Structure 1
Amino acid sequence: MAAPDPLPSGLPLGAQAMPGALPAAIPTAVAQAAVRWLLDLEPGDSAAARRKRQQWQSWLDADPLHAQAWQRMAQIDGQLRGVPTAVAVRTLASPALSRRHAVRLAVMLGAGAGGLLALGHSPLGEQAWLSASADLSTATGEQQRTVLADGTRLLLNTATAVDLRYSSSERLIVLRAGEIQIESAADPSPDPATGQARPLRVRSSQGWARAIGTRFSVRQYADDTLVQVQEGQVELQLRNDTSQTLRLAAGEQGRIAASGLLRQGPAPAADLAWTQGMLVADDMRLGDFIAELARYRPGRLHCTPEAAALRISGSYPLLDTDRVLAALSRSLRLRITTRTRWWVTVDKS
């Protein structure tokens, strides 16, 4: 029997095994061993990492239940790393699993004595918890278009989570992670107290972006928020100092950071290629290109320092990252090393 691929650290949502191959329940002892292996496996190609993977393979081949336990972890999206072992074992051994049930079960079991707060900073909290708890979300490599109740069109990019907070006085989109494009609509339900149209705003970790009859995109980074305006105008506002505002016109971009608001001039057209399912490079460093491509591919996609300085130009489809890597290999004479389908390294030949 072919062994399932090992799950690397931080495996994003979307890598699921065939549920029909799984038993009604996994024995607790087997579940506990599978979780230990998940926690013990190491990235890289060191002698210790290779030896550990060989030992894991021997354990996997020793009993069909071992492979079934590993598939069960893939079914709940590989998000058990970082969760307390007892929680992971109970979740893995559950006879009726779904992603959202597993995530919420882990949260409930790990919430005691500050566990919920700690869980929010684990890999589970970073992606699976967002996906399970957000009003709208996408997995890695997925995009989603939706029309909101007021007619506003919303496009979610890869690994994105948003909440909708519509009230009688405001239309608020909370960007919790990822990237969105908004095409605002006229408010069909003005504020009954004032008769005025409710403002449409996007809130990120650093501040707000208020639409003024517009189409624009918002991307949440770790330390700041990038706003790019395609049509109309957008007003930026700091979260910790609402007296600071900055208005962007069509074709402009700006950043919201803890230190202030920054106008960054013209917004590159290539940055919006994702809305058409493409990744466009114009004399781009290969390292930067691979980092961007990695947002759309489950698992770990790494570019070595030796290859990172190469330059690349072209348009590439985001729905088929394997095809993109194959094209890069041919055009730049790269070596693509695939340890598993979720663990890929790009290097010079």
Structure 2
Amino acid sequence: MSGHDTPATESVSHAALEAAAEWFALLRSAPADSDLRAQWQQWLEDDNAHREAWHYVEAVGRRFQALQGTTGPHTTASTLDRVRGRRVSRRQALGSLAGLIGTGMVAWASWRHTPLPGLVANWQADYRSAVGEIRQVRLDDGSRLWLNTASAVNTAFSPSLRRLRLVTGEILVETAGDPGRPFMVDTDHGSLRALGTRFTVRGNQDATQLVVFEGAVAIRPDGTAGETVVHAGEQARFNRDGLLSRGTADATHDAWSRGVILARDTPLDELVAELARYQRGHLGVDPDVAGLRVVGGYPAQDTERSLAMLADVLPITIHRPLPWWTTIKAANDSPP
């Protein structure tokens, strides 16, 4: 399990990942120890899963070190802001950003695990939030918009239509009344038409999730002609081909807009998956404790505090062999 900046690890076992992280830490602490390197080499050759796990850990480590070694994301961000401010074409923007390659731009893009065109789109967005940031915006029509961690949105308001485009991440929208101008939200999978409402929209590669708290929202997937109206207290998930699921909404789902992740008899691994969105690096859960049930409110923007709170009430321990590698284990476990 990881935050925004790490590739998927579904094919690699938790045990292999943890062993790889431990080997990485050992080799960093004793780089000249030839016997240790020979043992690591043997471990690496024993199983293809070990090699996959090692490549993953090595990739995360490279990204972390590259980010620390650059002039910093804020320098890169200011350059990207200048590109956005000029409203240049996509080709011009890519050309301008290419000039950053020699000063760490490639390292930073690799750290964020975002292809350069996607990175440009995010930074050219009208409103955006950084990893770990929750941002509130009042739109021109009086509507309110919250951006969750690592999110980006474009706006296109005209005398006849109000339209948002979710570029990445998750938003909470509270629409202002304006009967003459429909309020629309576009995603990669379709469009949403607000019917006087408060709702969240979360996008990922496979689907869009809608949760409605007040009013109603009409969903129109890109590949279909009809609309499906989702009412207050309901949630739905859809892709371009249609509705994937629909059910009762979790009334606390918008708590992130107040900086809180609420757990109500939630499996530990699900809660940690949410916390991982607010930090860089790897945050994993040992399968032995993944099913522990959790109750309470946890600060979204303070992962360290959230982990400490969990360790206070659950039989777990927080294991961190590397600054960017954190694992939640059973309290009686010892490092491999």
Given the two structures, how large is their TM-score scaled by the length of structure 1?
Answer: 0.67
- 1:123 corresponds to which letter in structure 2? H
Q: Percent identity?
A: 35
Counterpart of 2:149 (choices 146, 151, 158) is 158
Counterpart of 1:204 (choices 164, 187, 190) is 187
Q: Is the 8 A contact 1:76 1:102 kept in 2?
A: no
Tell me the C-alpha RMSD between the 2 structures.
Answer: 3.4
- 2:290 corresponds to which letter in structure 1? A
Partner of 1:321: 303
- Judged with a 3 Å threshold, the aligned counterparts in structure 2 of structure 1 residues 239 and 48 are, in CA distance, closer, same or farther, namely same
Residue pairs, 1:160-175, within 5 angstroms: 160-175=151-166
Any stretches of 5+ residues in structure 1 without a counterpart?
Answer: 1-7, 13-41, 57-67, 78-96, 188-195
Offset at residue 257 of structure 1 (A)? 1.5
Partner of 1:333: 315
**Cα-to-partner distance string for 1:113-134 (whole Å, 9 max, x where unaligned):** xxx9xx89x8133875444221
- 2:166 corresponds to which letter in structure 1? L
Inter-partner Cα distance in structure 2 for 1:346 and 1:298:
16
Counterpart of 2:237 (choices 244, 252, 255) is 255
Structure 2 SS opposite 1:336? strand
Q: Is the 8 A contact 2:174 2:197 kept in 1?
A: yes
Partner of 2:21: 45
- 1:10 corresponds to which letter in structure 2? D
Counterpart of 1:99 (choices 77, 81, 84) is 77
- Judged with a 3 Å threshold, the aligned counterparts in structure 2 of structure 1 residues 263 and 9 are, in CA distance, closer, same or farther, namely closer
Q: Is the 8 A contact 1:158 1:178 kept in 2?
A: yes
- 1:232 corresponds to which letter in structure 2? G
Residue pairs, 1:1-349, within 5 angstroms: 10=5, 44-47=20-23, 50-51=26-27, 55=31, 71-73=68-70, 75-76=72-73, 97-101=75-79, 107-108=97-98, 123-125=113-115, 128-187=119-178, 197-241=180-224, 243-262=225-244, 264-349=246-331
- Judged with a 3 Å threshold, the aligned counterparts in structure 2 of structure 1 residues 105 and 75 are, in CA distance, closer, same or farther, namely farther
Structure 2 SS opposite 1:248? strand
Inter-partner Cα distance in structure 2 for 1:238 and 1:303:
35
Q: Is the 8 A contact 2:212 2:234 kept in 1?
A: yes
Q: Is the 8 A contact 1:100 1:132 kept in 2?
A: no
Offset at residue 166 of structure 1 (A)? 2.1
Inter-partner Cα distance in structure 2 for 1:69 and 1:166:
39
Inter-partner Cα distance in structure 1 for 2:4 and 2:181:
43
Inter-partner Cα distance in structure 2 for 1:98 and 1:287:
34
Offset at residue 275 of structure 1 (A)? 2.1
Structure 2 SS opposite 1:291? helix
The count of residues paired between Structure 1 and Structure 2 equals 267
Inter-partner Cα distance in structure 2 for 1:70 and 1:180:
27
Structure 2 SS opposite 1:268? coil
- Judged with a 3 Å threshold, the aligned counterparts in structure 2 of structure 1 residues 165 and 44 are, in CA distance, closer, same or farther, namely farther
Q: Is the 8 A contact 1:156 1:180 kept in 2?
A: yes
Structure with the bigger RCO (C-alpha within 8 Å, sep 6+) is: 2
- 2:77 corresponds to which letter in structure 1? R
Given the two structures, how large is their TM-score scaled by the length of structure 2?
Answer: 0.69
- Judged with a 3 Å threshold, the aligned counterparts in structure 2 of structure 1 residues 180 and 324 are, in CA distance, closer, same or farther, namely same
- Judged with a 3 Å threshold, the aligned counterparts in structure 2 of structure 1 residues 124 and 326 are, in CA distance, closer, same or farther, namely same
Inter-partner Cα distance in structure 1 for 2:168 and 2:216:
23
Offset at residue 10 of structure 1 (A)? 2.6
